[in-house]
Amino acid sequence: MSQITGFPNGITSWGSPQLGVAGRLATGNVFFVGSASANAVDDGSHGATKDKPFNTMIFASTQCTANNGDIVLVLPGHTEELAAAASLSVAGVTFLGLGIGDTRPKFTISTLASSSLNIDAASIVIENMIFNAAVADVLIGIDVNAAHCAIRGCIFNEDADNENFLITIDGTGSQFLTVEDCQIFQPDASNTHAINIGNSSDFSVIRRNYLSGDWGTAAIAVSATNTLITIVGNTIFNIASDNDSCINCASGATGFVTDNRVSSAAAAAKITATTMGITENYAGVNSEDLSGILEPVAT
């Protein structure tokens, strides 16, 4: 295991080992990534300490052991460009961004519209990072293709006008996906989804996210074949005037849509989830000086 404190043999309290990294238990390897360091290099002799970190998170992922409890700590001030599609393909790894506000690690998706970050192995966690679109109409920002993954506390921005994610997060084929406490800002009119829960994504949870943008299909969309999807506690502001464009769950999908607060330019329905349990969602119309009402209307 990498040495992360001044106690290379560990710490015990009353005979009990104390294992911890950034407020969580760490039972596997711990690696460091930090492009801001003059000593950052992507090779086997780096990455074990913050003073000699890896240069990229993508390389760090290849040094991890599957389902070993490995943690990759991405240091404050780290920047990384994804100029082509990149894959995280070692299962069970947590990628934890360190820093607060603008010091958090930043990933810029550039050059090609197909330059997404692909999560291709199960039980991967991405937390506390910033993702910027720096090319027009990026097809997908983060494409999750495996089960039991989580995206937590991340921010998704447009780097400039007309540099955007058509779909910010796609969860097609990702059972038990969790997207929570994220902020997505995507005002470009070409966008279709903030979060798309496509086929074969049963038991996914979308909670406590703030979504502000222009999504012509829906800010959150769920396909008809999914079961037991939970959409709870999200705040959504959609510039689009399309009906059902805040939360749109196709008929046949099951689960719960509860305690969401949404607003769009549409005068009609903003939430559709006809075969799901719906409780205590409120909707308003953009730019109206009126309080939101229950959506769909209580019966």
**pLDDT under 70: residue ranges of the chain:** 1-24, 243-244, 267, 298-299
Reported as a single tens digit per residue, the pLDDT across 162-183 is 999 999 999 999 999 999 999 9
Q: Name 213's Cβ contacts closer than 8 Å, sequence gap at least 6.
A: 184, 185, 186, 187, 188, 191, 194, 219, 237, 238, 239
Domain 21-294 has CATH 2.160.20.10: yes
CA–CA distance, 96 with 73 (Å, rounded to integer):
5
Report pLDDT for 288.
73
Report pLDDT for 20.
59
Report pLDDT for 292.
83
Report pLDDT for 1.
44
Q: pTM of the full predicted structure?
A: 0.92
Report pLDDT for 169.
98
Reported as a single tens digit per residue, the pLDDT across 190-202 is 999 999 999 999 9
